[in-house]
Amino acid sequence: MQHARTLFSRLPSHAAAFAAGTAVGAAAYAATRKTRDDVPAKAPGNPAAATARAEEKMRKLQTSAQERVHWAAMDQELLGLQPRLWMEVLDPQHRYATLLHHYYRRWQLSDTRADFFNWLDNGQGSLIDLPHAPKRLLDEWVVVYLRREEQQYFAVRIEPETGRFLWEVDGSPVTLPSPPLLCREDASSRELAVAALLGPTLEKASRRDTLLAAAREEVERRVGSREE
């Protein structure tokens, strides 16, 4: 709980939204409990019972996504979402929450007084590389948020006559797999904009794939020469 207090005490701007979400969740939970208690649980052929069972399953799913956290400003415990559901939003680099959560669990077990992201990027956490959540993927798997003017480059429309998928901004066909993000001489304005937006993000993955392919070929070559 001390670790949760350290992290949340640095995030006062999220308190209002957090409290609002808590109130909605509490109301939904209370309504579910009332419905479950008023309706027989296993009445055969009873639609109300089927509804109650479905609501019970929903309540279990909600509970599995919640945890109690300490709100330092009010010195109270609140029912909030588990870290794996909100960590990416708070991360300045917007790294993938599923991978971040593994390092968050290690942070909880540590004796540091630093907040999580400072510990991960600058503290002892920067020296840890978990095999089931490697740092190379943590650095590559990021969420890209688009500004309003950037969203037009990814909007797609369907051509009624042919059913083809076309990019809204220039009418060019959507192709799969996507072509490499290279600035060719005949590249359209959309391709140039997408390359500028996503190129830096995918550059690390491209270098990593090249190195892995070279290492794989070297291993296969050595294994083949040993067999000969």
Mean pLDDT for the stretch of residues 78-104: 83
Query: Which one has a higher pLDDT value, 60 or 161?
Result: 161
Give the per-residue pLDDT at 29. Answer: 45
Whole-structure pTM value: 0.52
CA separation for the pair 103, 119 (Å, rounded): 10
Give the per-residue pLDDT at 7. Answer: 43
For 123, phi then psi, to 5°, come to -100, -150
CA separation for the pair 129, 135 (Å, rounded): 6
